Copies of this chain bind each other. A is one copy, B any other.
């Protein structure tokens, strides 16, 4: 990627991605430590080319910024307060950092462009944390999976964006579950219950949960999972095609 040509992009409109990673019964978020400022954290984000749709932009940005490819992204909300960066202390930090760090890519005019008011369209995804290997983009020192409760203060309104993404993830989760492709091909009732518990951050009693999830009529029961112990071998399920 060479010099930044702002005329290739839509001005004042950005995309930010909330990548939820699930692993070991825990829900995490992928955030990046920006190279051009001390203690500057943000969601992976970027701008929209004049030639691409906003969905295409979201996928491209995610690929460029994190190395993650073929991820199903869901648009959930636009964020449009006029003071998302204007008036925020971050603006001067970002300006100074960009001037310093990215002088070859951003001239003064481009820095004004990048730090002007932006409306942001939020996308989120849910991935198996073990199956992805994020690669840093050119403005990142490193990327990090952080538990949703332990997020640092991020630039702009990115903490609020994560909260809203989490709300959207919880809404109609039953319908989204298959699309996210998050469980192994075959899984036990306990495994799917643990996934729900991580996302809703509460425990579900097994009996009620099993009744509810079987009621959705999306699971096919296969055999039992024999582990050597004779008792309590759990049933194995997969999603119906």
Which A residues have a C-beta under 8 Å from some C-beta of B? 10-13, 48, 50-55, 57, 75, 77-78, 80-82, 117, 119, 121, 171-172
Contacts and interface: CB of A to CB of B under 8 A. Distances in A.
A50 B11 contact: no
A78 B54 contact: yes
A17 to B, nearest CB: 14
A82 B51 contact: yes
A77 to B, nearest CB: 6
A165 to B, nearest CB: 14
Quick one: copies of this chain in the complex? Answer: 2
B80 A121 contact: yes
A50 B117 contact: yes
The 8 closest A-B pairs by CB, nearest first: A54-B80, A10-B12, A53-B81, A78-B121, A53-B80, A78-B78, A13-B13, A53-B82
Nearest to A50: B117
A13 B54 CA distance: 12
Nearest to A12: B10
Contacts of A55: 80
Given A48-B80, A54-B78, A54-B80, 20 more contacts: A10-B11, A10-B12, A10-B117, A10-B119, A11-B11, A13-B13, A13-B119, A48-B119, A50-B82, A52-B82, A53-B80, A53-B81, A53-B82, A55-B80, A57-B80, A78-B78, A78-B121, A80-B121, A171-B171, A171-B172
